[in-house]
Amino acid sequence: MSRTAFVTGVSGQDGGYLAEQLLGQGVQVHGLFRWPEQLTTFRTRFPDVQPHLGDLTNPTRMAALVAEIGPDEIYNLAGISSVAQSWADPVGTGRVSGLAAAGILHAAYQHKEATGQDVRVVQASSAEIFGNPVNSPQDESTPLAPITPYGAAKAYAHTMAGTFRSRELFAVSVVLYNHESPRRPPQFVTRKITQGAALIARGEQDELRLGNLDARRDWGWAPDYVDAMIRAARHDVAGDYVIATGRSHSVRDFVAAAFTRAGIDDWEKYVVVDPAFVRPVDAVELVGDSGKARRELGWTPTVDFDELVGRMVDADLR
């Protein structure tokens, strides 16, 4: 019998890749939308996803939707995705990226109790829950110590997944390190760089203004991270999984690689450090140890740093 999945945040980068992978497996995919406007563009790209309107932060609506859809798998990807933006709206970030996860987990638990269906919840967590970690690389045992409203909200949701697991709901938290693709919006530094490098190479832009070039991140290929979510949902036991490549690079490394790919060797001439993009608080280095996911889920990242940069720059040059 075919499986049914309910995806929140289906219109984002990860939601799109997840919908594609699930539909490719014959899974019936239901997606949550906050606003009717989002639906129009989404429908042309994903006519096979069944859309539902609803506010993720409304637990009554979420419980009704879960009862109506009867999903085997729920992927909670919705949230404020920008760390920088979370300082502008810490309360909204807490509600959407934190508290709403409790609503989803509770709805899944209630549905399981009422029907006996083995509902499985995958919470998309983030490396930001570790803040400025003392140990490197981080793994599932690294203490939670967020330093941004985004990280704090995600830490709450991560903890709630564990809380519901102790109540025998199959609840997974995948601690996702930065994962990128040509579908990444330019609010994220990777796409901002690849778009900037492409425009400069084509003579359509003079400079690229960035913040901290020394920050180091573990950047992977978004579709690989979605594959990890599906594997975690189908595994025989629920748990937390760090999903990362295990290699970090600086923003400067990313800039150099992107400009070289776009045919520019002297990137320093074009990049301006603008204090407006330097964050008040920023993790220095995040790098993850995905050993547990590799061992238990058979997961492995398929795209390395140079290939990732290359794919993103090539897409922007096109």
The yes or no reply on residue 188 touching ligand GDP (CB under 6 A) is yes
Confirm whether 97 is a catalytic residue.
Answer: no
* Choices 36-44, 111-119, 210-218, 306-314; region in contact with ligand GDP by CB under 6 A: 210-218
Confirm whether 125 is a catalytic residue.
Answer: no
The yes or no reply on residue 257 touching ligand GDP (CB under 6 A) is no
Catalytic residue among 17, 75, 109, 150, which? 150
User: What is the closest distance, in whole angstroms, from the C-beta atom of residue 187 to ligand GDP in the complex?
Assistant: 6
Catalytic residue among 126, 173, 248, 290, which? 126
The yes or no reply on residue 194 touching ligand GDP (CB under 6 A) is no
Q: Number of residues in contact with ligand GDP, rule: CB under 6 A?
A: 17
103-122: contacts with ligand GDP (CB under 6 A): none
The yes or no reply on residue 282 touching ligand GDP (CB under 6 A) is yes
SS3 of the chain: the string is CCCEEEEECCCCHHHHHHHHHHHHCCCEEEEEECCHHHHHHHHHHCCCCEEEECCCCCHHHHHHHHHHHCCCEEEECCCCCCHHHHCCCHHHHHHHHHHHHHHHHHHHHHHHHHHCCCCEEEEEEEHHHHCCCCCCCECCCCCCCCCCHHHHHHHHHHHHHHHHHCCCCEEEEEEECCEECCCCCCCCHHHHHHHHHHHHHCCCCCCEEECCCCCEECCEEHHHHHHHHHHHHHCCCCCEEEECCCCCEEHHHHHHHHHHHCCCCCHHHCEEECHHHCCCCCCCECCECCHHHHHHHCCCCCCCHHHHHHHHHHHHHC
The yes or no reply on residue 270 touching ligand GDP (CB under 6 A) is no
Site string for ligand GDP, 226-255 (x = CB under 6 A): -------------------------x----
Residues labelled as active-site residues:
126, 128, 150
Q: Which residues bind ligand GDP (CB under 6 A)?
A: 83-84, 178, 187-190, 192, 210-212, 215, 217, 251, 277, 279, 282
